[in-house]
Structure 1
Amino acid sequence: MTREHVEYITAVIGTLSLMLGVSSSCIYNRINAAGIIDGYLVKCYDVLHTFSLEYVAQDIIDIMKRKGLEIC
């Protein structure tokens, strides 16, 4: 994982936190446990970073719903 990945993941988590009104640590723990950080955000970084943070955050919400998981 590169510095750019870490900065991007931090920005996405911050956006999710603002959108959902929950703590960043809760979001990090849930999406990390669901495999979204490595399996989606890092793996697809080259494409994802071209989209808005809000778009990617909503996509993560949708992924969690499809998996039957709550973000927080």
Structure 2
Amino acid sequence: MNQDSMEFVVYMIHACANKWNLSPKQVYGKLQETGCIDEYLVPNYDILHTQGSAYLVDDIREYLRIRGVKI
């Protein structure tokens, strides 16, 4: 993970936390347990960082839902 993708992941953790009324720590745990960071956000950074944050928050919610995590 390079600096840009790390900053993107941190930004998305906080965006999700704000939208879902969870702490960043709780969101990070959910993203880690499902592989969202290492298998989705970081590998697809080049495409994802060009999308709007509202779209990405919904996309991440869907990623988690498919893996059995409720928000």
TM over 0.5: yes
Q: CA deviation at 1:7?
A: 0.5
Residue segments in structure 2 that go unaligned for 5+ positions in a row: none
**Aligned-partner SS, 1:50:** coil
Q: CA deviation at 1:70?
A: 2.4
Q: CA deviation at 1:63?
A: 1.1
The ranges of structure 1 where at least 4 consecutive aligned residues each deviate by more than 6 angstroms after the TM superposition are none
Structure 1 residue identity aligned to 2:5: H
Q: CA RMSD in A?
A: 0.9
How far, CA to CA, are the matches of 1:33 and 1:68 in structure 2? 11
Alignment size in residue pairs:
71
Residue segments in structure 1 that go unaligned for 5+ positions in a row: none
How far, CA to CA, are the matches of 2:54 and 2:11 in structure 1? 10
Deviation sequence 1:25-66 (CA, Å, 0-9, x none): 000011111000010000000100000111111101011111
Structure 1 residue identity aligned to 2:18: L
Identity of aligned residues (%): 30
| Equivalent pair of 1:41/1:48 in contact (CA under 8 Å) | yes
* Alignment correspondent of 1:42: 42
| Equivalent pair of 1:5/1:45 in contact (CA under 8 Å) | yes
Query: Aligned runs of 1:1-72 on 2, under 5 Å?
Result: 1-71=1-71
